[in-house]
């Protein structure tokens, strides 16, 4: 398994992540009739918060990112993108497992949304996320992270 590390993003990472977002979401957004090369990047730029966004590196190479923001009753997970060249290699599972095992996440609700038809939904379902609602574009999911378990079951 590759050595996966997270480092807090910096404002200078915004374009690298915006470009990754366009690559990762392209096929799903085209399928949904919603892809616009510039809008997909601009939506990220408008929402980017370096304090709550982490760069995912595998063996010191940039492979993705994730934002994990505190909310009133838990956390919002968003902008979880793994470059297509690194998808399917367990990186997303490893990152998600590590986040959900943090002590300050236990007992809290984690919410996210995923595009309709996205293969990422299977990852979230394996970790126990349940659908709360959905529309034509997005599926809204949540998970209450168990307090009493020492670790999130290996997935």
Give pTM, 2 decimals: 0.91
Q: Residue 24: which CATH number?
A: 3.40.630.30
Tens digits of residue pLDDT in 95-146: 999 999 999 999 999 999 999 999 999 999 999 999 999 999 999 999 999 9
Residue 150 in domain: no
Number of Cβ within a 10 Å radius of residue 6: 17
Residue 79 in domain: yes
Residue 88 in domain: yes
Please state which of the ranges 51-55, 90-94, 138-142, 145-149 shows the lowest mean pLDDT: 145-149
Give the mean model confidence (pLDDT) for residues 50-58: 97
The predicted pLDDT at position 155 comes to 39
Q: How many domains are contained in the chain?
A: 1
Q: Which of 146, 148, 82 is nearest to 110 (CA)?
A: 146
Residue 59 in domain: yes
Torsion of CA 56, 51, 15, 83, to 10 degrees: 20
Look up the domain containing 28 and give its range.
Answer: 4-144
């Amino acid at each position: 398994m590759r050595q996966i590390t997270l480092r807090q993003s910096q404002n200078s990472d915004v374009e690298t992540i915006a470009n990754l977002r366009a690559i990762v979401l392209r096929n799903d957004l085209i399928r949904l009739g919603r892809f616009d090369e510039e809008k997909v990047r601009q939506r990220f730029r408008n929402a980017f918060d370096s304090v709550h966004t982490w760069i995912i590196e595998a063996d010191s190479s940039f492979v993705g990112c994730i934002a994990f923001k505190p909310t009133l009753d838990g956390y919002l997970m968003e902008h979880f993108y793994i470059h297509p060249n690194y998808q399917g290699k367990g990186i997303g599972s490893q990152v998600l497992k590590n986040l959900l095992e943090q002590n300050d996440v236990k007992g809290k609700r984690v919410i996210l949304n995923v595009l309709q038809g996205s293969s990422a939904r299977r990852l979230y379902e394996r970790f126990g996320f349940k659908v709360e609602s959905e529309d034509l574009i997005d599926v809204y999911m949540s998970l209450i992270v168990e307090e009493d378990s020492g670790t999130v079951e290996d997935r």
